[in-house]
Amino acid sequence: MSAVIENHHDEHHHGPAKGLTRWLYTTNHKDIGTLYLWFSFAMFLIGGAMAMVIRAELFEPGMQIVEPEFYNQMITLHGLIMIFGGVMPAFVGLANWLVPMMIGAPDMALPRMNNLSFWILPFAFFVLLSSLFMEGGAPNFGWTFYAPLSTTYAPPSVTFFIFSVHIMGASSIMGAINVIVTIMNMRAPGITLMKMPLFVWSWLITAYLLIAVMPVLAGAVTMMLMDIHFGTSFFNAAGGGDPVLFQHIFWFFGHPEVYIMILPAFGIVSHIIETFARKPLFGYTSMVWAMLSIAILSFVVWAHHMFTVGMPLAAELFFMWATMLIAVPTGVKVFNWVTTMFKGSITYETPMLFACAFVVLFTIGGFSGLMLAIVPADFQYHDTYFVVAHFHYVLVPGAIFSIMAAVYYWIPKWTGNMYDERLGQLHFWLSFISVNVTFFPQHFIGLAGMPRRYPDYALQFADWNMVSTVGAFLFGVSQILFLFIVLKTVIGGKKATDQVWEGARGLEWTVASPAPYHTFSTPPKVD
């Protein structure tokens, strides 16, 4: 027994291994967090480049730079890469870095699986991207891949797409299991569930959502595979199958999926707002309950993506009402954030700017979401740019702003250096302005009647499309600045204190900056 303990003890004095093998073999949560974050940034740039192709084509009416079939490949890959390669791995990266430090654990509970769940991801995306060079081109049926466009009518590369979705799913499930096991078993004594930092709470709920719905996605793509190669007819009407069944299965995964992409953001923003308002978060308990109710409701609203498929009246009414209900817990969260700022003592460093923008712009996305829930009105909004505007408002200034806020907020802890505040502020203002220039006009374009996934459009939509494209390119360029700021911080900069931010609370701020390779080998005391 004592030998084992001895061994453990020894390891703590080894730093990270040298060279490439450090990253290939690592089981350290901080290293793996870093890998996830860099990987997601790379995907963000690739998916972003595709968005630029899309926006460039839409700059003016007429086909200018790509053909419609390539355009469809771009919208499909843009969506898949941003969701599965950009946002989700970024949140897993943050979970890896932060969850153990926030609960006073030495590492994730299942470190080897942690390594595996990261390293299969680059492989999945390599397969997905290589489909661009296959005969017939990459998947071209939209990220929602509705059958039978994605089965009977799909290019041959669909099989590779299915394979890569399976790998992404396996990676997410492993990541989720790891988070749950860590949180449930490795909290330092004294950290009861209702004392956990909100980011940890948000990830605990997210992880359960992931485990619940990723297998459903796997089931859907497997049924597609059977239809394509083994002669079944799950989704093929000619063989007695049901194309609408596909949509039910897909959105049973897809709706919880959108909360998977926003719950961790709720956690992040809560921490940042309380830190820079120098005031404890308002209504901690109600925040937890709100997240739980949002997560549970997310399982009974899926068909609000399908109001036009011809469901019976009773189903339409049920899904409308259930969807509207989500506004209640979401509202509670927004009110709590605003009240946290009330009577605070606020300063506006870059993370706080992003967090404030998050609250406002995410709420705007919430408003358009509420409008979309109203079935008769949705008959007019559905599958137009109004929907595109809505989900980009919750995903870009929502999820992605929260990720950027998190990077600015915790990077001093990760690297030991302060980022350049002036450049950070510049990055914020460029992003904030351009994101609105890009996506706000899309509300107009959609209401005026432009459907989504159109490579070309009627003349009355020309003006606002042009504005949107200009905004998109500005947003794209601003993110190069972000890359520069992060690199600059990694290389050097003003040394960060351990506390970093005056108002910061939580265990991660009690360890040194940069955080040592191993933290909390013995659990901290928490009262």
Active-site positions read 78, 107, 143, 171-172, 255, 257, 259, 270, 304-305, 330, 333, 452
> Which of these, 322, 207, 301, lies nearest to 255 by C-alpha position?
301
Residue 186: CB atoms within 10 Å: 19
Pairwise CA distance, residues 110 & 96, whole Å: 11
Distance of CA 74 to CAs 47, 255, 521, Å? Answer: 9, 23, 47
Residue 412: CB partners within 8 Å, gap ≥ 6? 418, 419, 489, 496, 500, 513
Structure tokens at 130: 């290589």
Judge whether 336 and 287 are in contact, CB under 8 Å.
yes
* Distance (Å, whole) CA 452 – CA 290: 32
* Nearest-angstrom CA–CA distance, 477 and 180: 37
Residue whose structure tokens are 């946290």: 340
R_g (Cα) of the chain, nearest Å = 23
- Whole-number Å distance between alpha carbons of 138 and 483: 28
Structure token digits, residue 7 = 């061994």
The residues facing 451 across adjacent strands are: 384
Which one, 63 or 296, has the nearer CB to other proteins? 63
Smallest gap from residue 217 Cβ to other proteins (A): 19
Which CB atom, from 263 or from 332, has the smaller least distance to other proteins? 332
d(CA 385, CA 210): 28
3-state class (DSSP) for residue 515: coil
Least Å distance, CB 483 to other proteins, is 22
Q: Judged by CB, which is closer to other proteins: 65, or 296?
A: 65
Write down the least CB distance from residue 218 to other proteins, Å.
Answer: 23
**Smaller CB distance to other proteins: residue 126 or 367?**
367
- Smaller CB distance to other proteins: residue 89 or 365? 365
Smallest distance from the beta carbon of 414 to other proteins, in angstroms?
26
Alpha-carbon gap, residue 487 to 209, rounded angstroms: 34
Whole-number minimum distance, CB 377 to other proteins, in Å?
5
Residue 325 beta carbon to other proteins: minimum distance, rounded to whole angstroms = 7
Residue closer to other proteins, measured from CB, 62 or 492 = 62
